Amino acid sequence: MRRGTLYDMSQTEPREEQQPRERRPRSEIPPERRAAALAQVRTLGDPVLRESARPVETFDSELTALSRRMIAVMRDAPGIGLAATQLGVVKRMIVYQVDDDPVTLVNPRIVGDSDDTEVLDEGCLSLPGVTVPVERPTLVRVRARDLRGRRLEYDAEDLEARVIQHEIDHLDGVLILERTSREERGRVLRELRERQTAAVPSGSGL
């Protein structure tokens, strides 16, 4: 097992729409676009994040439109991965972008992984401002379908493997709080409670 440095899925810079493209600095994303993207992402406490997503059976224009929406939200948030359930859509679909082009996986599942694991700090758009150490295999074999329903199977390593595992967890109703230690989970929950209390003005009656 290896221990790595900070990795935050919610803060990695997004990429542009077409190839070839360079990374777009986070500072270049207009604040209103970022706010609009984040407003669509469900956060801790929303029951949909604990639901198990349903398999996709129909591959049509609506599914393609959902993929485009997810990619746009992921980039503007910004992040490098997003699951449909994070937008309140209970379908087994994820998007991610660790290289030049975004990838959409429909009905993804992990059918094999490596013995070699690594601990890295992960963040999540559904847990803004939070990072926790998570141990995951450094290589996974993924089986899925594309937007046309064609079968996909490939090996993903390192960052790509981690993002895929993180997003598939979302489809199963699992958050990074369940993938870390009890101490880290307690720390994060205390921080979130303190942040929420500080945000409520005294005498508000809320």
CA 111 to chain centre: 20
As beta bridge partners, residue 156 has: 140
Q: How far is Cα 201 from Cα 206, in angstroms, rounded to an integer?
A: 9
Q: What is the DSSP letter of 91?
A: B
Q: What SS3 state is found at 84? A: helix
Radius of gyration (Cα) for the chain, nearest Å? Answer: 17
- Residues annotated catalytic, as ranges: 167
Q: What are phi and psi for residue 92, nearest 5 degrees? A: -85, 85
Could you give phi then psi for residue 157, rounded to 5 degrees? -125, 160
Indicate the residue type of 159: L
Instruction: Report the Cα–Cα distance between both ends of the chain, in Å, rounded.
Output: 46
What is the rounded distance in angstroms from the CA atom of residue 52 to the CA atom of residue 124? 18
Q: Among 173, 198, 177, which residue's Cα sits nearest to residue 46?
A: 173
* Beta-bridge partners for 123: 131
